[in-house]
Each structure stands twice: as structure tokens, then as C-alpha cells.
Amino acid sequence: MHEKKLTWRELMLVASLIFGMFFGAGNLIFPVQLGQLSGGHWVLATIGFLVTGTVVPFLAMLAVSITRSRSVYDVATPVGHWFGLAFLVAIHLTIGPFFGTPRTAATAFSMGIAPFIAPKYQSLGMLIFSALFFGLAYFLTVKETGLMKWVGKYLNPVFMILLLIVLLMALFMPMGNTSQAVSSAYQSHATFQGLLDGYNTMDGIALLAVAVSVVYAVRGLGFRDHQVSSVLAKAGLLSIVAEAILYTALVLLGVSSLGQFKVAANGGDAFAQIIAHYAGNFGTALTGVVVTLAVFTTAMGLFVSFAQDLHLAFPKVSYLWFLRIIALGSFVTANAGLTNIVAWSVPVLMLLYPFALVLILLSLTGKFFDKSPLVYRSVVGFVAMPAFLDALAASPFMSSHTAQQLIGAYHQVVPLSSLGFGWVVPALLGAVMGEVLLGASRVAQRQNQIIEGD
């Protein structure tokens, strides 16, 4: 039987699917915010952002494919059942009711509703809007409906056309030059700061949770299991190149906007100001509607993923109850406001991303150490403490004297820790230690076989 050949149409179809999974609320607002904050250092900051914003999610998708995982639990379970379960829950809470889904409603409100409401009514407006937003998302994910596919099919092209028009207008009618003032965080370590900014998209951890649906889609096209990784590599590469170009354009849009505006509180507000500058109230309203529908489909997808995966992990709790949890939790969190959601997500992402990154790398290199749990546990064990300290350094609790002393000592002892990457060297040490333990285990097994043979 001949193997199926990948056609150009199928390549574009899978690439479009991957792009659609990548692009959500954070992918629109964070590049613009990075542009405003990095100013004249935008090139180095963008390089860092593209690594964690496009390359890492691409590798996460390949990791899910290579390990033939059915969920993020399968990616993490070599460390242990308890760790796999805890990591599954942590990721779904992060991309779900804690930060991911609330951010969809907060972004939609910030860009589409807030510009038309007086400041004193903003809180009430957000309360009503988020109740309708998540209530409808709950209703449509309880009942089987084709709305999500229909909206996704026709809305994404409209959204991209509108975005392209704005980017072209900015190219030919720039608001300012690209050598603006820069935030202090980008002056000396712009690339490292860009890497951390890429965490905010949440794509690296989100793709671990939802990439399995792309794998099933590729299999549904008739490709065999051993062909899936190759198809995903080609389609994923095409997708991340397109996304990298779009990210760069959005960063430049943010940099240019400094010619007219001060740095906004968040990327959603910044983008709304830019739209209003080029297209007036009509453009703001139209963009708001399109963005709201776009992030609404993202929210529905996250609702379903959250409820399905957690129901599989905890079958005694129904799919419907998990839907209620994410709907109510997202509603409560969304009303904290987009700026607060982004601020509180940073320490959580600083904690989760080191684990996600080492699990991705271990999944991709597993054949070199026979996917040994010893190596997995050693690497994860070495990463745990620096990940916790990086999260603490980025959290509001840093105001306490004890925390400041602890973090100060950590930054002096561990390489790269002051830049937010204190987990890198420990991860390498953990890999070496794991290989040593694996080698010792193999020697002991051979000695036992020889003794038993005698």
C-alpha cells in the first residue's frame, strides 16, 4: 500500500488550522504592547518574543505528535502519575478560568466596548458584557452547534483583512519613527525580556494541551502515524513564518504609535487607540465586533478543552460541571480587568513555563535516553526550585523583606536567574545527573543478569 502524499491544498489546510490555534487575544495585544515598551530596542526584543511566541509552541506541537499523546497528561506522566495530573490541572486552570478565557472577554471589551462608554460606567459595562459573553459560550458548548466552525471559517479571513488594512495604513502613514524612548527593562537585556514577553501569549503551554486536535486532524486526512510529525513540521513551519511576520508588523505598529500616544496600560487599550487614530469610531466599532467574535471562538474552544480533559482525568465529575466551573471562574476573573489579569498571570507563567519547556525538550529527545523516567524526574526535580523562585521574583509578594533577601541570594548564586531564566543551568545539571543515574541503573541490571545466568 502506497503512502499518502501531502498535497499543497492539504499543507495549506493544516497550516491554516495551526495558525488558527495559535492566534488569539494575547497574540494580538502583546506584540503591540512589546512595541510600545521596547521602542528603539524593538528588533532584539522581537527576536526573543518570536522564540517563545512561535518556535516553542511549534516544538510543543511536535512533542505531542512524537509521543503520540492524547493530552498534556501523557507528555508529563513519565515524571509520575501525580505530576502528570497536577501539570494537566495547572495548565488548564491557567489557559482556562484563571487567565486565558478571562483575557478573551477583557480584550474584547477593551477594544470594542470600552471606547464608547464613559469611565464611570466601565465596571458595570464589563460586568454585563462578561456575563453575556461567558453565558453564551457556556450555552453553545453545552449544546452541539455548528456556530463555532461557521464563525471560525468565515470570520478569520475578515479579521485578517481588517488587520492587514490597519497595518498597511500604518506602513504608509506612520504615527512616528522606530527610535522612540524605551522602557528600562529593554535597555540592557531586550532579547531576554522579549523571551519573557513571549510567555504571555501562553501558546507554549496551550499547544501542549490542545495540539492533539491537530494531530487527529492530520490523521483524519489519511496520513499514517509515522507521517504525522513530518506533515506537522512542514505545515507548522509555514504557519509560524506567517505568524512571525504578523508579530513583527504588530510590534512596529506599537513602536510607531508612540509618535501619537503615551504607553498604554495594556496592549488592548493601545490597539484600540491605534484603530481609532486610523479609522475613527466606525473603524473602532467594526474592529471591536470582529475581534469579539474571534476571541469568542477561542473562548469556546478553551471551554471544551478544559471540560473534556478534566472530565477524563476526574470522571466522577461530569463534563457539564467542568463547563460551569470554567464559565463562572472566567466571569469572576475577567472583571478584575485586562491589566490586572496580565499582571497576575506573569508569576504563574514564570512557574509553569520552565516545566513545559523541559518536558517539550525531553519529549523531542526521548529516544536518546529511552524515555527513562529517571532522566525526566532528575530534570524536573532540578528545575522545580528555580522555577518557584523565578515566579516569586515576579510576584507581588516580592515586597516583603524576607522574599527580597531570598531572591537577592538566588540572583547572586544561579546564572541567568536575574534575567528570569534561573532554571536553564539546573535543567542541564539535571539532565547530566539523570544520564548518570540511568547509566548506573543499566550497569546494575547487567550485573544482575550475569549473576542470574550463573
Encode pLDDT of 419-453 as tens digits: 999 999 999 999 999 999 988 888 888 887 777 66
Can you tell me the distance from the alpha carbon of 211 to that of 213, in angstroms, rounded to the nearest whole number? 5
Q: Predicted confidence band at 296 (pLDDT cuts at 50, 70, 90)? A: confident
Whether residue 387 contacts residue 354, with contact meaning beta carbons closer than 8 Å, is answered with: yes
Asked whether residue 411 carries a pLDDT value surpassing 90, the answer given is yes
Q: Predicted confidence band at 154 (pLDDT cuts at 50, 70, 90)? A: low
Can you tell me the distance from the alpha carbon of 334 to that of 111, in angstroms, rounded to the nearest whole number? 14
Can you tell me the distance from the alpha carbon of 116 to that of 228, in angstroms, rounded to the nearest whole number? 47
Better-scored residue on pLDDT, 17 or 27: 27
Encode pLDDT of 118-129 as tens digits: 989 999 999 999
Q: Predicted confidence band at 99 (pLDDT cuts at 50, 70, 90)? A: very high
Can you tell me the distance from the alpha carbon of 393 to that of 408, in angstroms, rounded to the nearest whole number? 9
Lowest mean pLDDT among 176-190, 245-259, 357-371: 176-190
- pLDDT value at position 175? 85
Which is nearest to 375 in space by CA: 83, 78, 74?
78
Encode pLDDT of 30-60 as tens digits: 999 999 999 889 999 999 999 999 999 999 9
Q: Is the pTM of this model over 0.85?
A: yes
Can you tell me the distance from the alpha carbon of 40 to that of 20, in angstroms, rounded to the nearest whole number? 31
- pLDDT value at position 254? 92
